[in-house]
Chains A and B, each alone.
Chain A
Amino acid sequence: MTAPVIEMQGITKTFPGVRALSEVSFDVRPGEVQALVGENGAGKSTLIKILSGVYHADAGEVRMGGEPVHFAHPVESLRAGIAVIYQEFSLLPERSVAQNLFLGREPRGRFGLIDERRMHDETRKVLDLFATGGRIDPGRAVGTLDVATQQMVEIAKAVSHDARVIVMDEPTAALNDAECEELFTTVDRLRERGVAIIYITHRMREIARLADRVTVLKDGEVAARFDAVPEPGEIVHAMVGRDIADFYAPPATEAEIGDPVLTVTGGGNAHLHGIDMSVRAGEIVGLAGIQGAGRVALAMALFGQEPFETGEVTLAGERVSFRTPREAIEAGIGLLPGDRKSEGLVLMQSVRDNGMLTPRAFAPLWSSHKRTAQADLARIDELLDRMEIRAASYDQDIRALSGGNQQKAIVARWLSMRPKLLIFIEPTRGIDVNAKAGIYHLMRDLARGGAGILMISSDLPEVIGAADRILVMQEGRIAAEFPHGPTERDIMHAATGETEVAA
Chain B
Amino acid sequence: MTDQSAAPDRKRRRLPQINPVWVLLAVLIAGIVYMNPGFAEPTGYMNFLKRAAPLAILAAGQVYVITSGGFDLSVGSLITLVVVGASMLTNNDPSATYWVIPLMLAMGLGVGAVNGAIVCFLRVPSLIATLGTMITLNGLAFLWSGGAPRGYLPDTFRFFGRELIRDVPLVRFIPVSVIVLIVVVGLFAWLMHRTNLGRMVHAIGDNPVAARLAGVPVNRVRISAFMLSGLSGAIAGILLGGFAGVSTDVGAGYELEAITAAVLGGAQLLGGRGSVPAALGGALALTAIFTLLNFLGLPQPVRQVVQGLILIAAVALAMHRRKRTGT
Residues of A at under 8 Å CB distance from B? 15-18, 303, 305, 324-326, 329-330, 335, 337, 342-349, 353, 356-358, 360-369, 372, 385, 388-393, 395-396, 399-400, 413
Residues of the A chain whose Cβ atoms lie less than 8 Å from the Cβ of B13 = 16-17, 392-393, 395-396
Tally of B interface residues using CB under 8 Å: 38
B305 on the A face (CB < 8 A): no
A-B contact count (CB 8 A): 125
Question: B212–A325 contact, CB under 8 A?
Answer: yes
A346 engages B197 (CB within 8 Å): no
Residues of A within 8 A of B123 (CB): none
CB pair A392–B197 under 8 Å, yes or no, is no
Cβ contact within 8 Å between B203 and A343: no
Contact B213 A343 (CB under 8 A): yes
With A305-B213, A342-B210 as known contacts, state yes or no: A360 contacts B10, CB within 8 Å: no
Can you name 8 A-B residue pairings with CB atoms under 8 Å?
A17-B12, A305-B213, A326-B215, A357-B203, A357-B214, A365-B200, A369-B199, A396-B13
Taken together as a complex, chains A and B put the C-alpha atoms of A390 and B4 apart, in Å, by 11
Asked if A346 contacts B221 (CB within 8 A), the reply is: no
B202 CB contact (under 8 Å) in A17, A353, A365:
A353
B260 adjacent to chain A (CB < 8 Å): no
Q: Of residues 205 to 225 in B, which have CB atoms within 8 Å of A's CB atoms?
A: 206-207, 209-217, 220-221, 224
Q: Interface residues, chain B, CB within 8 Å of chain A?
A: 2-3, 6, 9-10, 12-14, 191, 194-200, 202-203, 206-207, 209-217, 220-221, 224, 268, 272-273, 325-327
The one of B212, B268, B326 in contact with A16, judged by C-beta atoms closer than 8 angstroms, is B326
Q: Which of B12, B207, B216 interacts with A347 by CB under 8 Å?
A: B207
Complex CA gap A369/B203 in Å reads 13
B212 to chain A, nearest CB (A): 6
CA distance A400 to B325 in the complex (A): 10
Q: Tell me the minimal C-beta distance from A397 to chain B in angstroms.
A: 8
Distance (whole angstroms) from the CB of B11 to the closest CB of chain A: 9
By beta carbon, the residue of chain A nearest B201 is: A365
Residues of A with C-beta under 8 A to B272: 346-349
Q: Give the distance in Å from the alpha carbon of A214 to the alpha carbon of B194 in the complex.
A: 50
- A367 and B213 within 8 A (CB): no
A344 x B210 contact (CB < 8 A): yes
- The answer to whether B197 touches A365, judged by C-beta atoms less than 8 angstroms apart, is yes
Contacts A337-B210, A357-B214 given; does A399 touch B195 at CB 8 Å: no
Question: Contact partner of B213 among A325, A365, A391, A400, CB < 8 A?
Answer: A325
Q: Would you call B199 and A353 a contact (CB within 8 A)?
A: yes
| Best-buried of B12, B196, B272 by chain A (most CB within 10 Å) | B196
Contacts of A392 in B (CB 8 A): 6, 9-10, 13
B254 to chain A, nearest CB (A): 27
For residue B221, give the distance in angstroms from its CB to the closest CB of chain A: 7
7 new A-B contacts at CB < 8 Å, known A346-B211, A385-B3, A399-B327: A15-B326, A17-B12, A345-B207, A353-B199, A361-B196, A392-B6, A393-B6
Residue numbers in A under 8 Å from B268 (CB-CB): 348
Q: Once the chains bind, are B202 and A346 in contact (CB under 8 Å)?
A: yes
Residue from the list B3, B12, B206 in contact with A346, Cβ < 8 A: B206
From A347, A367, A400, contact of B206 by CB (8 A):
A347
Closest to A335 in B: B213
B211 touches A17 (CB 8 A): no
Contact indicator A366/B9 (Cβ below 8 Å) = no
Contact with A356, one of B199, B221, B273 (Cβ below 8 angstroms): B199
Among B2, B215, B221, B327: residue with most chain A CB under 10 A: B215
Measured in the bound complex, the distance between the Cα atoms of B228 and A336 in whole Å is 33
Task: Tell which of A329, A345, A349 has the most Cβ of chain B within 10 Å.
Answer: A349
A360 & B9 in contact (Cβ 8 Å cutoff): no
For B272, the closest partner residue in chain A by CB is A348
A220, B68: Cα distance in complex, Å: 37
A330 / chain B contacts, CB cutoff of 8 Å: 215
Cα separation A15 to B199 with both chains bound (whole Å): 27
Docked complex Cα distance between A372 and B196 (Å): 9
Instruction: Give, as a whole number of angstroms, the nearest-CB distance from A365 to chain B.
Output: 4
Q: With a CB–CB cut-off of 8 A, which chain B residues contact A363?
A: 196
Q: Is the CB of B326 within 8 A of A400?
A: yes
- Check B200 against A361 for contact (C-beta < 8 Å): yes
**A187→B10 CA distance, assembly (Å):** 44
Distance between B315 CB and nearest chain A CB, rounded to angstroms: 16
Q: Closest B-chain residue to A410, C-beta based? A: B214
> Chain A's nearest CB lies how many Å from the CB of B192?
10
Given known A-B contacts A17-B13, A356-B199, A360-B196, A337 and B213 have beta carbons under 8 A apart: yes
The 9 closest A-B pairs by CB, nearest first: A346-B206, A365-B197, A329-B215, A348-B272, A361-B216, A361-B215, A393-B10, A392-B9, A360-B196
Contact (Cβ within 8 A) B213 A344? yes
Asked if A349 meets B206 with Cβ closer than 8 Å, knowing A325-B215, A361-B217, A392-B9, the reply is yes
